[in-house]
Amino acid sequence: MSSLLRPTLLGCVLAAGLIAPASAADIFPYQVHEKELENGFRVVTVPYDSPGTISFVVIVRTGSRAEVEPGHSGFAHFFEHMMFRGTEKYSQDAYNKVIKRMGADTNGFTSDDRTVYYITGPSAELETIMDIESDRFINLTYEEDAFRREALAVLGEYNKNISNPFLPLYERVRELAFTRHTYGHTTMGYLDDIKAMPDYYDYSLSFFDRYYRPENSILLVVGDADPERVNELAERYWSGWESGYQPAEIPAEPEQTEARSSHIDWGGPIAPHMMVGYRAPAFSDSTAQSVTLDIISQLLFSESAPLYKKLVVDEQWVDQISGSYTDHRDPYLFMIFGRLKSGDLQEKVDTAIQEAIADLQANPVDKERLERIKSYLRYSFAMGLDSPQSIAMTLMNFLVLTGDPQSVNRVYEQYQKVTPEDVQRTARELFKETNRTSVTLSFPEPAAEPAAGG
């Protein structure tokens, strides 16, 4: 359940400071301390044995999913850029000097459901980090000229990325698969919208005003940090941030009733590419659906999978093949991607994939193999929790999806429950022809020369 929908009683408990103890059965082994300020800003602290180092993450639970107005895609990503442009108190140069003096690492990223900003640096500089980060969230201002320059920088980034065939494929699959939902455009946004962005200065201000609010944001501090000190500083530096979050009304996507396909002609010689998306359910920590999709990904597309061995090792029809589902707040896609050795192999590769899927639908997976995969996923996850930044990025994902840090433990409880029948049923529900959207990309074969006249 989202933190915005929690009952008042729980809000009062959070305001007083809540500690979620780690249980021996939990996959996430660290204590989580939570506090909520009066303005709705959540503060989550995870003490971790990293002497002298913390990871400081500010999560805005808004990404390109919230770009509901036609003609205005790309603004969530745009604000990732603008947040590094400085304020009256800390100009861009002054901010960078503080970061450099601390020897810290800072960056940001945007995706469909989130915009995230992080600093990994010395714990002794916690108050300094609180100061510079709260300042840019509360006091960000920019003139129209600066806005226009940054909008052109975003266009330059798009033009660079579009030279990689993956982005055009990804754009086309999403645009075909989603006819109403905002997942129909990528985080970069539509090219026409990005070109028009310099003329939407006033709109940019309204976007920031709607979504960059305390009730829609979470501060996560992991590492050598005392939760009481973190809460005290958060109260001092973030309590003046005015509430006023206005959630976007995300249009529901209608059921897909027929297969959709398209082809892209590439402008130069290139290995043929293919991408297929199957409509998949939204992330859930209360059912086994999401985790079963992860298991299916391993069964079909991991390097130990028979399909991978056939396509990559034995037949050598492709040099890349993958399939996965990424967690999303709303129903999304299970994506399959392949890069083929030649264009005449397209039908063979697609047939091999469909045969592997059909086998998974018809025959329950071997129990021992399923248990090995579940064990691998569980322990590889646990082994990755080995630094403040890796812990922060992991917990951040669940805070974005549900607002609840305990989602991580509930999800890994679900892994333990998955049966061969669950895998078979999910494969049948997911891999339907009417649920499929496919796009191919290749360099068009040159037209045959006409025969010379006799």
- Mind listing the pLDDT tens digit for each residue in 167-222? 999 999 999 999 999 999 999 999 999 999 999 999 999 999 999 999 999 999 99
Number of Cβ atoms within 10 Å of the Cβ of 150: 20
For the CA atoms of 432, 437, 438, 439, the dihedral, rounded to the nearest 10 degrees, stands at 180
Instruction: With a cut of 80, say whether residue 334 has pLDDT above it.
Output: yes
Instruction: With a cut of 80, say whether residue 56 has pLDDT above it.
Output: yes
Average pLDDT of the residues of the chain = 92
Q: What is the pLDDT of residue 25?
A: 74
Task: Please indicate whether residue 449 or residue 45 has the higher confidence score (pLDDT).
Answer: 45
Distance in angstroms (rounded) separating the CA atoms of residues 247 and 235: 24
Task: Quote the tokens at residue 378.
Answer: 């569980």
User: Strands of 332-340's sheet, edge to edge?
Assistant: 260-265, 436-442, 273-280, 332-340, 318-325
Q: Give residue-wise pLDDT tens across range 348-374.
A: 999 999 999 999 999 999 999 999 999
Task: Please indicate whether residue 16 or residue 111 has the higher confidence score (pLDDT).
Answer: 111
* Measured CA angle at 149 (ends 145, 154), to 5 deg: 145
Distance in angstroms (rounded) separating the CA atoms of residues 224 and 302: 36
End-to-end Cα separation, the chain, in angstroms: 78
Q: What is the pLDDT of residue 451?
A: 56
Contact 104, 119 (CB under 8 A): yes
Who's near 255: CB < 8 A, 6+ residues apart? none
Q: Which range, of 12-16, 181-185, 258-262, 438-442, averages the lowest pLDDT?
A: 12-16
CA distances from 6 to 226, 315, 376, 395, 404 (A): 26, 54, 34, 19, 10
Task: Please indicate whether residue 14 or residue 231 has the higher confidence score (pLDDT).
Answer: 231
For the CA atoms of 244, 246, 143, 242, the dihedral, rounded to the nearest 10 degrees, stands at 10
Instruction: With a cut of 80, say whether residue 131 has pLDDT above it.
Output: yes
Mean pLDDT for the stretch of residues 29-48: 98
Give the torsion sign (CA, 367, 369, 370, 371): positive
Quote the percentage of the chain above a pLDDT of 70: 93
Q: What is the pLDDT of residue 14?
A: 38
Instruction: With a cut of 70, say whether residue 36 has pLDDT above it.
Output: yes
Q: What is the pLDDT of residue 445?
A: 74
CA distances from 199 to 78, 155, 383 (A): 14, 13, 48
Nearest to 398 by CA among 379, 383, 381: 381
Mean pLDDT for the stretch of residues 379-406: 96
Distance in angstroms (rounded) separating the CA atoms of residues 361 and 421: 10
Instruction: With a cut of 50, say whether residue 394 has pLDDT above it.
Output: yes
Q: Which residue has the tokens 């059912």?
A: 287
Task: Please indicate whether residue 298 or residue 444 has the higher confidence score (pLDDT).
Answer: 298
Q: What is the pLDDT of residue 58?
A: 98
pLDDT bucket at 11, cuts 50 / 70 / 90: very low
Q: What is the pLDDT of residue 5?
A: 30
Give 74-132 as a DSSP string.
THHHHHHHHTTSB-SSSBHHHHHHHHHHHT-EEEEEE-SS-EEEEEEEEGGGHHHHHHH
Length of the chain: 454
Q: Give residue-wise pLDDT tens across range 242-264.
A: 999 999 999 999 999 999 999 99
Q: Is 334 helix (H, G, I), strand (E, B) or coil?
A: strand
pLDDT bucket at 447, cuts 50 / 70 / 90: low
CA distances from 442 to 338, 365, 446 (A): 12, 35, 12
Q: What is the pLDDT of residue 450?
A: 59
Q: What is the pLDDT of residue 2?
A: 30
Nearest to 82 by CA among 189, 161, 154, 158: 154
> Burial, 109: exposed, middle or buried (Cβ in 10 Å; 0-12, 13-18, 19+)?
middle
Going from the N-terminus, what domains does the chain have, and what CATH number goes with each? 3-238 (3.30.830.10), 260-442 (3.30.830.10)
Mean pLDDT for the stretch of residues 31-50: 98
pLDDT bucket at 24, cuts 50 / 70 / 90: low
Q: Which range, of 40-44, 96-100, 328-332, 441-445, averages the lowest pLDDT?
A: 441-445
Determine phi and psi for 45, rounding to 5 degrees.
Answer: -125, 135
Q: What is the pLDDT of residue 452?
A: 58
Instruction: With a cut of 90, say whether residue 422 has pLDDT above it.
Output: yes
Distance in angstroms (rounded) separating the CA atoms of residues 319 and 333: 23
The identity of residue 7, as a single letter, is P
